[in-house]
Chains A and B, each alone.
Chain A
Amino acid sequence: MTTLTTTALAATAAQTIGPYWHLIEDPAMADLTRFGANGEVITLIGTITDGDGAPASDACVEIWQSSPAADDKFPGYGRCAPDATGTFRFTTVKPGPVPGRGNTQQAPHIAINLFGRGIMTRLYTRAYFEGDPLNATDPLLGLIDEPARRATLIARPEGANIWRLDIRIQGDNETVFIEI
C-alpha cells in the first residue's frame, strides 16, 4: 500500500473556455479517420443554438467514442470549431455497442462535450443513432420518459453516411444534458 504524501484536495475549479480558444484549435482534430481508422466512415454534423436561438459559433465541441473493433489507428477523440452558423462537423467511424454497468449493454453512441463563452464548466451529452435496435434497451435512453426529450439525443440520417444532431443549449427542445 502506497502512502500518499500530498494532502488530498477537491478537483480544481473549471472556468469558461472563453471566445479565444481557437489559439489551440487544429482543424485536423475534427477528422478522427486521419490516421487510417477502420470502419464505416460517417459525418456527424449539428447546429448549436443558445436560448435566444443564436448560433453558438464560438463554442468548442469535443467528441469521444469507441471504434467498432479495437483499432490503434483510431484516436477516439475529436475537437471542432463550429462555423458562423454554429454548425460543427466531424468525420469519424460509426461506433459499435459498448458495455454498460453490470451486465447491461449500451447502444452505439458518441459522447459530446460542449464548451464556450458563457458556459462556466461544460455541457455533456451523447449522440445515439436513429433506427439502432439497441436504443430500445439502452440504460441512459431508458431514463428519459418523454419521447421528445429522448429525441434530442438521437442523431438522424441526412444523406448517405451523414448523421445530424442539433444541440439546443436552452429553451424549446432543449437538449438533454447529462451529469458527468
Chain B
Amino acid sequence: MNDIIGFRPPAPGSQPDNNTPAYGSTRARHPLRPLLAFPHTITEATGPAFSPTHFPPHTDLSVMNGKLAQGERIIVRGRITDEDGRPVPNTMVEIWQANAAGRYFHPLDTHDAPLDPNFKGDGRVFTDADGWYQYTSIKPGAYPWRNHKNAWRPNHIHYSFFGPGFATRLITQMYFPGDPLLAFDPVFKGVPDEAARNRLIANFDLDVTQPEHALGYRFDVVLRGRAATPMGI
C-alpha cells in the first residue's frame, strides 16, 4: 500500500486561467480540451531537492565584479510556508528581473532603454530552516510590451519556487506597492480573486530597510499544502 500524501487542489479563484483573453499571448497557448483529472501519485507528490553545493547561492544582484548597479537598492525578505502555515525549509528560490531602466539582459528584449554593465538580473537563494529567504537587488523599472495600446508592465521581479513536490512548483511575479500600472496589467489582473491577487504585491517594511543602505520589502509566499487523506486510502 502506497501511503504518500498528495497536495490539495487550488482554492477557487486563487489561480489565473490559462485562457486569459486580455493577455493576448494566451490565445494560442492554452489547451482547448479539459485537463485530465488524475489524483497525485509519487510522481506529483515528490519533487527535486537542490543542494547549494551544486547550485551556489547568489544573493546580491546589486553588485557585479565589485561595481554597483544603477538604481534604487532594495532588500527583499520573506517567508515561505505551506497552506497550513508550516515553513518550507531549505528550498531553492530563483529570481530574475529587468534593470532599473526596465531592460532585461536578454537578446530578445529590444526596449529602447539602457543596459547596465553592472547588472545582469539573476539570483538564487535558499530558505533557512524556518522558511526565511532574503536577497539584495535594485528596484526593476517598468517597460512597454505591446500587449495592447500603450501597454506597460508594472515593476516586478520573477520568482521560481519548488517546495516538496512537483505539484508545489510555482512560477510567479512579485509587484511593488502603490504601482499605478497594476490596474492596467492583464497578467496581474488575471488572478480572479482580489485578495489572492493583492498578495502578489510586496509590502514596504521599515524593519527590513537598512539605514543608509537599502529600502526593504517583505514578500511572503504560500506553497500548496498536503491533502488531508493519504492517496492509498
Contacts and interface: CB of A to CB of B under 8 A. Distances in A.
A66 B166 CA distance: 12
A11 B43 contact: no
Given A11-B10, A101-B2, A22 B106 contact: yes
Interface stretch (B65-73, B176-184, B192-200, B204-212): B192-200
Interface in B18-45: 18, 20, 23-33, 35-44
Nearest to A100: B41
B48 interface: yes
Nearest to A120: B16
Interface string A46-86: 00001110101010001011100000000111000000000
Contacts of A176: 33, 36
Chain A, interface size: which category? 35 or more
Contacts of B29: 50-51, 56, 116-119, 169-170
Nearest to B120: A23
A18 B25 CA distance: 10
Interface in A1-33: 4-24
Interface centre among B20, B105, B190, B197 (most CB of A within 10 A): B190
B38 A179 contact: yes
Contacts of B218: none
A118 B39 contact: no
Contacts of B187: 15-16, 120
A111 B26 contact: no
Given A50-B28, A122-B169, A174-B31, A13 B196 contact: yes
B228 interface: no
A144 B43 CA distance: 19
Interface string B84-103: 11100000001111100000
Contact of A14 (B28, B48, B170, B199): B170
B62 interface: no
A109 B43 CA distance: 9
Contact of B85 (A4, A54, A101): A4
B47 interface: yes
Interface in A99-124: 99-103, 106, 109, 111, 113, 115-123
A8 B27 contact: no
Contacts of A18: 158, 173
B31 A175 contact: yes
Nearest to B25: A118
Contacts of A21: 96, 158
A171 interface: yes
A160 interface: no
Contacts of B97: 23
B27 A179 contact: no
A98 interface: yes
Contact of B44 (A8, A111, A123): A111
A100 to B, nearest CB: 5
User: Which 9 pairs between the two chains have the least Cβ-Cβ distance?
Assistant: A118-B25, A6-B85, A77-B48, A10-B11, A51-B28, A118-B29, A23-B96, A120-B16, A15-B173
Interface of A: 4-24, 35, 50-52, 54, 56, 58, 62, 64-66, 75-77, 98-103, 106, 109, 111, 113, 115-123, 126, 139-140, 143-144, 169-171, 174-180
Given A9-B222, A11-B15, 18 more contacts: A9-B199, A11-B222, A16-B23, A16-B173, A18-B158, A20-B158, A23-B105, A24-B95, A64-B48, A66-B43, A76-B48, A98-B42, A100-B42, A101-B39, A120-B23, A122-B171, A143-B38, A170-B31
23 contacts: A10-B196, A11-B170, A11-B224, A12-B221, A12-B222, A13-B16, A13-B196, A13-B199, A20-B106, A23-B105, A24-B94, A24-B124, A66-B42, A100-B2, A100-B41, A102-B1, A115-B171, A118-B30, A143-B36, A170-B28, A176-B36, A178-B36, A180-B167
